[in-house]
């Protein structure tokens, strides 16, 4: 399935919940958000149907996210079901890692291949300050549990001047110690993120080179790769930079998102997309839904405009936890 700019869309990110067991300051207000009423949220059967239809349109990779995906009941069953679809080649999850260790065997058996674990600090106290929860040890144990089960692990850190600026070098050192890639993601001005100041990839690379020596650029594994990877001498894993603010990667974007309330969202930044929930609940046929998806995908915006003051289309005003990161 191609969008209006000829980009092949083969990657679907699925937000399975807007609930979360943490309160990362740049993502979710400390008092939480108004959760969607139960009936507004897509059922697991509805999500499966959308995935099946999108698989028939060429989607090959899925990523489960949220909110915190592991707080959604019966997610393991959904993963097992979508893993049974012949066209689905890769199933990944983005998680805060707190509940991962307890579910790792079931997830592996269901077909999960890779996890991105969000980790903004390697310090217990700083972790608690950022997330509102004393959970660093759980996350570290989950990382080891996933590696033991041969699930590929990437760690994602969002550096913020106000929260974890002093943590960069120690976090990167996890790629020295363990067989994991550590990636730094530039903060985007979405929801609570607007109240903090991100740190550019360039500045972080400079700091890491000062500490660990000059890094070599690693070759890109694929065209749609969003991260630029570097190899530091003596490190087991790579250090990556995802730079939506300083280096847009929209021209190679291959993804769309299914939100928790069933909208097919075409770009993280904008509100536009197609509401699939009414179609699913009005008894429309697979063919009718397929046609709507194909038409919607043609409207995918060319690029985000996070760095611009004026944008032509309507910006999504919700918090990241609600949009689905
Ligand atoms: N709860 C899961 C987790 O934390 O991995 C999945 C959802 S979370 C919204 C997905 C990712 O979005 C996390 O790595 C988080 O750090 C990141 N994130 C949240 N707000 C962000 C922002 N304003 N800019 C960049 N990344 C953000
Ligand atoms: Fe929850 Fe993930 Fe947002 Fe943190 S980043 S509050 S873990 S959804």
Q: How far apart are CA 275 and CA 252, in angstroms?
A: 25
Dump pLDDT digits (tens) for 112-123: 999 999 999 999
Span from the CA of 130 to the centroid of ligand 1 (angstroms): 13
Structure tokens at 131: 């997330």
Task: Return the pLDDT at 314.
Answer: 64
265-298 pLDDT tens trace: 998 887 778 999 999 999 999 999 999 999 999 9
Q: Who contacts 99 (Cβ-Cβ below 8 Å, separation ≥6)?
A: 21, 68, 70, 71, 138, 142
Ligand 2 pocket check for 290: Cβ under 6 Å: no
| Greatest CA separation for the chain | 60
Q: Is the CB of 99 under 6 A from ligand 2?
A: no
Percent of the chain clearing pLDDT 90 (strictly above)? 82
> Which residue lies with its CA nearest to atom 1 of ligand 1?
68
Listed in sequence order, the residues at least 6 apart from 28 whose beta carbon sits closer than 8 Å to its beta carbon are 20, 22, 192, 319, 320, 321
Are the C-beta atoms of residues 45 and 177 closer than 8 Å to each other? no
Q: How far is the CA of 95 from the centre of ligand 2 (A)?
A: 8
| Residue 29 CB neighbour total at 10 angstroms | 13
Q: How many CB atoms lie within 10 A of CB 293?
A: 23
Residue 237 corresponds to which tokens in the numbers above? Answer: 């894993």
- Using pLDDT thresholds of 50, 70 and 90, give the confidence band for residue 30: confident
Distance, CA of 94 to CA of 13 (rounded, Å):
10
Task: Give residues (CB < 6 A) around ligand 1.
Answer: 20, 26-27, 65-66, 68, 94-96, 118, 156, 158, 185, 187-188, 190, 193, 320-321, 325
The predicted-structure confidence for 81-102, as pLDDT tens digits, reads as follows 999 999 999 999 999 999 999 9
Q: What is the mean pLDDT of residues 123-144?
A: 98
55 lines ligand 2 (CB under 6 A): no
Q: Does the pLDDT of residue 313 top 60, yes or no?
A: no
Ligand number nearest CA of 325 is 1
């Amino acid at each position: 399935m191609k969008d209006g700019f000829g980009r092949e869309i083969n990657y679907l990110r699925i937000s399975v919940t807007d609930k979360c067991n943490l309160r990362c300051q740049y993502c979710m207000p400390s008092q939480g958000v108004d959760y969607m009423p139960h009936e507004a949220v897509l059922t697991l059967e509805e999500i499966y149907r959308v995935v099946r239809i999108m698989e028939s349109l060429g989607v090959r990779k899925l990523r489960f996210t949220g909110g915190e995906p592991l707080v959604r009941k019966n997610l393991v069953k959904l993963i097992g079901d979508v893993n049974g679809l012949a066209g689905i080649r890769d199933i990944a999850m983005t998680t805060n890692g707190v509940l991962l260790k307890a579910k790792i065997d079931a997830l592996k058996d269901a077909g999960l291949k890779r996890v991105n674990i969000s980790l903004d600090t390697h310090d217990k106290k700083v972790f608690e300050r950022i997330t509102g929860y004393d959970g660093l040890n759980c996350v570290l144990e989950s990382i080891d549990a996933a590696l033991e089960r041969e699930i590929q692990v990437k760690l994602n850190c969002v550096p913020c001047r106000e929260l974890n600026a002093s943590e960069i070098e120690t976090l990167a050192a996890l790629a020295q110690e363990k067989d994991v890639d550590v990636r730094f993601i530039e903060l985007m001005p979405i929801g609570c993120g607007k109240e903090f100041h991100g740190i550019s990839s360039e500045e972080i690379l400079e700091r890491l080179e000062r500490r660990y020596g000059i890094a070599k650029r690693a070759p890109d594994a694929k065209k749609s790769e969003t991260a630029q990877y570097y190899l530091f001498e003596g490190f087991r894993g790579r250090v990556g930079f995802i730079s939506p603010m300083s280096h847009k990667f929209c021209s190679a974007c291959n993804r769309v998102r299914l939100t928790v309330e069933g909208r097919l969202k075409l770009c993280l930044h904008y509100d536009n997309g197609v509401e699939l929930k009414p179609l699913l609940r009005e008894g429309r046929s697979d063919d009718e839904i397929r046609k709507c998806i194909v038409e919607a995908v043609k409207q995918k915006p060319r690029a985000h405009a996070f760095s611009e003051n004026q944008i032509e289309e309507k910006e999504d005003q919700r918090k990241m936890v609600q949009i689905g990161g």
